[in-house]
Structure 1
Amino acid sequence: EFPNSSLGRKLEMVAKLIQTHEARETNRDVFYLQIGGFDTHSNVDDKLVERFSEINSALEAFVIELKDKKLWNSVSLIQTSDFARTLNPNGGDGTDHAWGGHYFMAGGAVKGGQILGDYPDDFSLETGSQALNRGRMIPTTSWDQIWNGVAQWMGVDETDLDSVCPNRDKFPAESLFSESDLFDTNGRKLSSPRRRNLR
């Protein structure tokens, strides 16, 4: 049963829509959900416990529902944010706006249990190549590098990837995440990627 929270209600609706893909004659869907409450300039500990509890219970219900309907292997969840938080706290036991952050992916086809990208090994301002003031980090991975692999998984042709990820040519090809970096497609990929039932 889905929790009666903002995210719980949204994920319940997405689960219902996914189950109607045949009636809607779609083989790919992208659903965008937004939740707030992470602008934690004060009392970050209490606020994060509350937010993470809501996320955990809503995601748990979503995964259970999709596994029960045998749809989990064709669904991927990707959590992103438009900015990150400082590693160093401010005077109000909170964190302020930062630059480099992270993504979180889950799904039946996602290669879980791995961290991709470069985690800083030096946080000092004097010697750290990625460090800025107050624990702000310069990102090492762009949106396009990650979405490149997601777009491939969704069946976007190689010739169309530059349109879908317009800045991917600004990075070395070997730094782009591919479908095989992000997803386990063994036994799940149909003969034609354009015909996969992806949500």
Structure 2
Amino acid sequence: MTGRPSHLTATATAYDAVAALYAELSQNALDDQPLDRAALEVFAEVVRTTGGGPVAELGCGPGYVTAYLRKLGLDASGLDLSPAMIEIARATYPELRFEVGSMDALDLADGGLRGIVSWYSVIHVPPGELPAYLEEFGRVLAPGGHLLLGFFESEGGPVTPFDHKVTTAYRWPIDELATLTRAAGFAEVGRVLREPHEGERFRQGRLLMRRQ
């Protein structure tokens, strides 16, 4: 696409190249992660108890989190930069809706969603560009809608780039990420930090935010 920022092209190309392997390795990623499932379950509950409505997983990859959200009773769809990932998601979960697209320019009406999950997708956004992504999330969320961010936490340090297995990613201090999200018009509902499990390198963070 003409004019697409270089980091978007690099991210899409990198995930296309590993899509099949990534899907295979991640298909049971939630099975032994009770805190991760709990964060998604809380998100689902607050969406349902505030009136329900459509939710989107932005940066859905092969779709396993989108499928889990549907299992929790939500009207969930997925979006991803990588056409190869979307092809796998559609084949694996044909009953769900998946589209190719970018989180920074959503083809959605203002206030059209009741919830957004960004599960390790904003990690690839250059830090200086993240406020614009959060503004776009706020645009498509209805007032009172909820946003759940999953990310690698910087464990007391600054925003830190690291050698993610697919493409460059960033670890965020949870307080700084919460501050940026509040500046985009959100209020914090809650947060979770968990220590890395076997095979993981970094502490994991979750922020649940509500659109004001």
Bigger proportion of residues as strand: 2
The answer to which structure, 1 or 2, has the higher relative contact order (CA under 8 A, 6+ apart) is 1
TM-score by length of 1: 0.26
Larger Rg: 1
TM-score by length of 2: 0.25
